[in-house]
Amino acid sequence: MTHCAATGASSRLLTLTNSQARRVFLDRHRLSEVPQGAASGAALLSLIDALGFVQLDSINTVARAHDLILFARRPRYRPKALKRLYEQDKALFEHWTHDAAVIPMSFYPWWQLRRQRDAERLKGRWRDWQGHRFEDQFKTVLAQIREHGPVCSGDVGKDEARSKGGWWDWHPSKTALEYLWRTGALCVVGREGFQKRYDLTERVIEQHLCDETEVDVTATVAWCCDQALSRLGFATSGELAAFWGHIAPAEAKIWCDAEIAQGRLEQVAITSDDGSVKIAFARPELAVDPALEVAPTNRLRVLSPFDPALRDRKRAARLFGFDYRIEVFVPEAQRKFGYYVFPILQGDRIVGRVDMKAFRNEDTLRVRALWPEKGVQWGQGRQRAFEAELNRIVKIAGVSQIAFTDGWMRGPAQELL
């Protein structure tokens, strides 16, 4: 760790080497410590709180994204623990960050600004899409839930035409459910399979958490930025704004400027994987952060493509030199790697990416292809570590056997990038 003079300024910037930056970032995402410990109840809630949220995704190639995110940090984790925490204990709520996610219930009041802004933003967008048809269903949908209890989308608008155009081609009552959820009248109280169940917010959220008085935008921006920074270690104003998805980069920049003026924030220089330097913001305490001196565990782990440490693809590319694109929506003939390829983390490096799938009817996890990253030697030691990880993953994948397809070991990923 060094200090360098800021260009055109008399102050000196704290400069983190690339290794130090990775250490801080992985520490904040709970990927630096050895993956072990309790993975249910209060312990699981504490982990989700530390991450901020866990993205939900329906694809179940090996395990669903939210399950693999938690499993990578706590191998004792099983999906029923999250379901219990969410649906029975009511310790989590579901809403939107950059995508649908489960979030600690204590954070619920800070989503008031998001709900308010979504009310206008979505109404305009969805009117262009469906006209006023979904708004016409608000009273009917709310009355049905009030009288009969929680519903799934298939329980409402049964006289409305169902299209086979795809998951986004919602009928008006389904759209009404989503709008009322995103804007606060309804809550998602769980899922059947992966289909949401909706109930009235007043029956789900404790009154002290859902007081819908006039939103305090300044306080919400401050909370979003402060809490994002604590989970990133260092960040640009744009990265702070994007973390929760509630606020605009300009709002985050105003907060950063004010915090710097008060001496509570400073600029730092972050060394990228390629040696270039990116200026970011951090708390002054970063200079003595214990994570700077602690090398992450060398335990090899397969990560979800939606892992919070990697969801910001540009940041992952800067810090780890990891150029990644999920190819689910890429036509098969144009894919460079595969439909759903998993990053592999070891120590502070992304060492490879693997295309694998659980064939549950065959009770087998099949490894179809693996590409080491640039400069990574895939020797016997790393292969043993990989096989040990696969033996852990079969437990969350719901199979008991592992098979390697002929020709599974490929050349460096960079040959395809």
- Does 139 share its domain with 182? yes
Q: Does 184 reside within a domain? A: yes
- Does 187 share its domain with 87? no
- Distance from C-alpha of 343 to C-alpha of 26, rounded to nearest angstrom: 15
What is this structure's pTM?
0.93
- Does 312 share its domain with 394? yes
- Does 94 share its domain with 176? no
- Distance from C-alpha of 86 to C-alpha of 191, rounded to nearest angstrom: 10
- Does 377 share its domain with 312? yes
Q: Does 408 reside within a domain? A: yes
CA-to-CA dists, residue 11 to 6, 14, 281, angstroms: 6, 10, 14
Helices (H), 297-357: 313-320
Domain count for the chain:
3
Boundary (domain end) residue, out of 203, 238, 264: 203
Is residue 10 over pLDDT 50? no
Burial letters for 253-264: b for 16+ Cβ neighbours within 10 Å, e otherwise?
Answer: bbbbeebeeeee
Model confidence over 161-175: pLDDT tens digits? 766 655 556 888 999
Residue 103 backbone phi and psi in degrees, to 5: -140, 145
Q: Does 185 reside within a domain? A: yes
Mean pLDDT of the chain: 93
Angle, in degrees to the nearest 10, between helices 217-232 and 112-130: 100
State residue 9's pLDDT score. Answer: 38
The strand pair at 401-404 and 186-192 is best described as: unpaired
- Distance from C-alpha of 47 to C-alpha of 29, rounded to nearest angstrom: 9
Average of per-residue pLDDT across 327-344: 93
Model confidence over 114-150: pLDDT tens digits? 999 999 899 888 887 776 788 999 999 999 999 999 9
Average of per-residue pLDDT across 262-280: 97
- Does 99 share its domain with 155? no
277-282, Cβ contacts within 8 angstroms, sequence gap of 24 or more:
277/15, 278/236, 278/318, 279/13, 279/236, 280/234, 280/235, 280/236, 280/239, 281/229, 281/234, 281/235, 281/236, 281/237, 281/240, 281/256, 282/14, 282/229, 282/233, 282/234, 282/235
Boundary (domain end) residue, out of 177, 203, 229: 203
Owner of token pair 């060394």: 271
Is residue 85 over pLDDT 50? yes
CA 258, chain centre distance (Å): 28
Domain that holds residue 377: 305-330+341-416
- Distance from C-alpha of 388 to C-alpha of 397, rounded to nearest angstrom: 14
Q: Which residues contact 292 (CB under 8 A, 6 or more apart)?
A: 1, 16, 20, 23, 24
The strand pair at 266-271 and 12-16 is best described as: parallel
CA 132, chain centre distance (Å): 33
Q: Does 293 reside within a domain? A: no
Q: Does 230 reside within a domain? A: no
Residue 102: its H or E element: strand 100-104
Q: Does 197 reside within a domain? A: yes
Burial letters for 196-224: b for 16+ Cβ neighbours within 10 Å, e otherwise?
Answer: bbbbbbeebbeeebbeeeebeeeebbbbb
User: 77: which 2 tokens?
Assistant: 């984790």
Q: Which residues contact 89 (CB under 8 A, 6 or more apart)?
A: 41
Owner of token pair 């003026």: 261
- E strand spans, 275-348: 277-282, 301-302, 341-346
Model confidence over 32-74: pLDDT tens digits? 999 999 999 999 999 999 999 999 999 999 999 999 999 999 9
For residues 132 and 313, the model is more confident at: 313
State residue 12's pLDDT score. Answer: 80
269 secondary structure, DSSP code: E
Q: Does 10 reside within a domain? A: no
- Distance from C-alpha of 210 to C-alpha of 202, rounded to nearest angstrom: 8
Boundary (domain end) residue, out of 155, 175, 203: 203
Q: Does 274 reside within a domain? A: no
State residue 212's pLDDT score. Answer: 64
Quote the percentage of the chain above a pLDDT of 90.
83
The CATH number linked to 168 is: 1.10.10
Is 173 buried (19+), middle (13-18) or exposed (0-12) by CB count in 10 A?
buried
- Does 181 share its domain with 94? no
- Does 160 share its domain with 98? no
User: 283: which 2 tokens?
Assistant: 């708390």
Sign of CA dihedral 31, 37, 43, 44: positive
Sign of CA dihedral 297, 301, 305, 306: negative
- Does 138 share its domain with 96? no
Q: Determine the Cα angle at 143 with ends 141 and 148, to 5°.
A: 95
- Does 87 share its domain with 168? no
- Does 395 share its domain with 312? yes
